[in-house]
Structure 1
Amino acid sequence: MRKVLIDTDPGIDDAAAIAILLNEPSLNVELISCVAGNVGIEHTTNNALRLLNFLQKNIPVAKGAATPLLRENRFATNAHGASGMGSFDFPEAKTALLTEENAVLKQWQILQATEEPVTIIALGPLTNVALLLQTFPEIRSKVQEIILMGGSTARGNIGVYGEFNVMIDPEAAKIVFRSGVPITMVGLDIGRKARLLAENLDALETHPVGKMVADLFRSYDGGDISEGVKMYDPSAALYLLNPELFQTQPAFVDVEISSPLTLGATVVDFDGVFEQADNATICVDVDVEAFRQKYLERVLAIREEVANGTRSSK
């Protein structure tokens, strides 16, 4: 089984990604660490604990960074709602799963104790991951790969060129890309392409977890699903589970941290302009129809007795 740490800021699309990751038998998810991002750290941590109760999973949850390294918080409540989880009525938080250790210390404990390489899948701002790599540089060799939903090969969604997860903490993203750890970037452009359509959400409605995903996405980003729902974090999850769905290309990536015009931009150098060694694998395309089918299959394969009593508040 592949050992995995999930670092996340739940978040509607985070929940849609975590649901399939936790129900993949080839993965051993050892920790969910939370970071401020879509909403504040108290909300993201509580959302992870409530989601685990809904999914009937017992995964330790660690509370992480409450703010970016150097900047003020900027939340995405316009897209995710005040709590971060739209209007879906989750059960109470499973607080017994919350660790005494903070996220960085708990991540380090797991990494330093393991004999096997560990994959980190990062679905939010990279503050926790940067702190881990800076505070405990000796454990970098224990990290097989960081798969991150973040960045863009084109324009952004917060600012002109900034993608949200990178833009919220660009200094952290810069540290991670410069860390020497193998990185796969599943960027904004992939999530914009890999969309679920209204009929796909309808197909999920007959299943308890599918209903949760469908209800969340119907309240996501203002509730407009006429052009499909952008699958940002689920794209990173499906890259881990089904990499054959994606086309990739190596590149050197750096992050702009000073220019007011391009702050948070991920500068993706495919052509060797900067004469720097490649430091990331970039997802450049996705088989959209296969992506939709595989995501639906994975959700509908989750055992149906999960959270049968949970309802939508809409």
Structure 2
Amino acid sequence: MAIPIIIDTDPGIDDMIAISAAIHSKDLDVKLITSVGGNVGIEHTTQNALDIVNYFKKDIPVAKGVDTPLINKLATAEHVHGHNGIGNVQFMTSSQTNILEDHAVIAMKETIMNSEEPITLVPIGPLTNIALLFSLFPETKSNIKQIVLMGGSAVGGNATPLAEFNIYVDPHAAQIVFNQDIPIVMCGLDVTRETIINHDDIQTLKKLGDFGNLITDMLEVYNDVNSGEKHEHIIHDLCTIFYLLYPEMFTTERANVSVITEGQAAGCTYTEFNKEGKVEVCMHANNKQFREKFVEFVKDIHQSR
């Protein structure tokens, strides 16, 4: 049976890749996609989510969420993802099909409570929507299987020396989420920095039709590279989807994770490794398998279109 998931996202080039993989997989059932301000503002993140759903002609609802963090001002990453979040790529149509009238938090609540199977939440942006969900509707926790999120780091950051971007944008929301009594898998920078695609992979993608070209067009602008290597890109958010599909690809350690909300260390996920810890922290990934599965899903989409 396919795993029912909700993707909460701020697309984002790597978000668009992760969403595509989830939508395409027969082993995942994407019940809802919710947008949040993060990589770019909410109008762009919502439109990008709509565009990728409509590109694949999928009947998956999209709900617009929160544009600003709980307390802080929104920090964005246009310098990484382009002014519109997707490398300045423009979809042929700008459809509003599948957009819900309900706010993302309400849509999540309804989807979770009406699901026959416990839902897995997959947040791949700032955690503002998720924090509001638990604060306003704590009853939803009874029908959530786990949270598999992209964010945080046991060692080092990318927004600051100590903080990963998604957590840095809204550390107060992250603190609320990590304090919940729900199983959490943290796909942070420790593992995502090992999920790199290289020049050869990109050349292969260029031969895989419209979708392959769509990805390579976005990656040409994507300014999240490995140690300055222009043709080696870190596909952070895809780790969450591949963790659900191919858990054997990852090495994890148990830990307790707390979030620093103020001062120079704001956004730091303070990670205390402990066999009794309640968070499963992904520490390593098999890069060869990641690259093979990445190219494989793009090839599958090309062959099915």
Structure 2 equivalent of residue 57 of structure 1: 58
Alignment of 1:151-170 (within 5 A): 151-170=152-171
Question: How far off is 1:30 after superposition?
Answer: 0.8
Structure 2 equivalent of residue 176 of structure 1: 177
Quick one: which amino acid aligns to residue 69 of structure 2?
P
Is residue 244 of structure 2 the alignment partner of residue 245 of structure 1?
no
Structure 2 equivalent of residue 15 of structure 1: 16
Structure 2 equivalent of residue 256 of structure 1: 260
**Structure 1: gaps (5+ residues):** 307-314
Cα 1:178–1:206 shift into 2, 3 Å: same
TM-score of the two chains, using structure 1 as the length reference: 0.92
Question: How far off is 1:222 after superposition?
Answer: 7.3
**Residue in structure 1 matching 2:270, options 252, 267, 272:** 267
**Contact 2:224 2:234 (8 Å CA) reproduced:** no
**Contact 2:224 2:233 (8 Å CA) reproduced:** no
Cα 1:193–1:286 shift into 2, 3 Å: same
Aligned residue for 1:228, secondary structure, equals strand
Q: Percent identity?
A: 38
2: distance between equivalents of 1:92 and 1:49? Answer: 10
2: distance between equivalents of 1:188 and 1:134? Answer: 27
Quick one: which amino acid aligns to residue 158 of structure 1?
A
2: distance between equivalents of 1:222 and 1:82? Answer: 15
Question: How far off is 1:205 after superposition?
Answer: 1.1
2: distance between equivalents of 1:65 and 1:80? Answer: 20
Quick one: which amino acid aligns to residue 51 of structure 2?
R
Alignment of 1:87-236 (within 5 A): 87-207=88-208, 208-221=210-223, 225-226=229-230, 228-236=232-240
Aligned residue for 2:48, secondary structure, equals helix
2: distance between equivalents of 1:153 and 1:222? Answer: 19
Question: How far off is 1:227 after superposition?
Answer: 5.6
**Contact 2:80 2:223 (8 Å CA) reproduced:** yes
Alignment of 1:27-46 (within 5 A): 27-46=28-47
Q: What is the CA RMSD across the aligned residues, in angstroms?
A: 1.5
Aligned residue pairs, count: 301
1: distance between equivalents of 2:89 and 2:264? Answer: 37
1: distance between equivalents of 2:278 and 2:258? Answer: 9
Question: How far off is 1:279 after superposition?
Answer: 2.1
Question: How far off is 1:92 after superposition?
Answer: 2.1
